[in-house]
A and B are shown apart, each in its own frame.
Chain A
Amino acid sequence: MDKRLENLRMYFPAEVTGAYLAFQSLLKTNGVQPGEYTKFMLWVLVGLSVFNVAIYWKFYNVKNAFVQFILLCGFLVWAMNIDTTRFKDAPWGLGENIEIVAPSLLIFYSLLTLFLAIPQRNPDAPG
């Protein structure tokens, strides 16, 4: 499963996944337990999702809304899988079965990526 997650991470801009991991690390450094700050991290996820779309749009030339949507879903699946404990208390019952739902979505998404090439960054893009 870890390999699947690592493979999936390759689909997203390193700035975005790196930022999420940096927020996780920031909380840990400040004594926050893995199950706490659920709402805060959900807002972080919303913010990074916007950046995810913007970075694909600007630096990867991904202009197709459907492809953007698929990539965004993948980012959310990745986040759910690396922060499962935190999202147990996600609102609207989203976290009720997260230990089953998140890996299941990862499996399906991994299958989906067989049909989806990793987006290539523009050669003149920064980073």
Chain B
Amino acid sequence: MRLVRLSAILLLGFGCEPLYAAQLGASYDSYRDMHRDTAYGSLFFNATAIRHADNLAKKRFRAVTASGDIELPSQQGYCFVFNHYGRPTLDGKSHSYRAKITKLMIDGTNRLETVEQAFDPTDDLSSTSPPDLCIAGIRNVSKVTIEFTSDDNNYFDWQITFVPR
């Protein structure tokens, strides 16, 4: 029986899920809801925002539920936001997060960019200055991988991959 099930999983993929399947989850239309209803360090895709200024003005947050491949809509750029509310202890210290962006070009070469920025954990539910990242320059890019890390334990550790359209 076990052999049959194993064979089915291997041959047909029944009952198995990809190891790293990130999905876009719940939508949030305000900083308040996004901060209140998700955990510190949660990652969001901000739909239709293509640059930093948009990322502050638009509130079309879609939760990234796990590290891995995510499917994003066709856009000229892609912006992401972190929840910086609700840290278990607020010590008043600033922290920094890093994003290692790897762009796989159509010609097969890789381009590596790194971004490091400071952020302040907040106790303000409606804080409009979350840690964020926007990806531009995606022409001739076939795949983007972003590895987020921070000096704040592993709250901001994410690794996502998406195909720009």
Contact = CB atoms under 8 A, between A and B. Distances in A.
Contact of B32 (A34, A36, A37, A95): A95
A116 interface: no
Which secondary structure dominates chain B's binding surface?
loop
Contact of A33 (B33, B58, B126): B58
A49 to B, nearest CB: 21
B29 interface: yes
- Interface residue range, chain A: 10 to 19
Contact of A89 (B58, B60, B128): B128
Given A33-B59, A36-B58, A36-B59, A96 B29 contact: no
Contacts of B32: 88-89, 95-96
B129 to A, nearest CB: 12
Contacts of A88: 29-33, 126
A90 B29 contact: no
Interface string A75-103: 00000000001001111010110000000
B30 A93 contact: no
Nearest to A91: B126
Contacts of A37: 57
Interface in A21-60: 33-37
Contacts of B33: 88
B14 to A, nearest CB: 41
A35 B126 contact: no
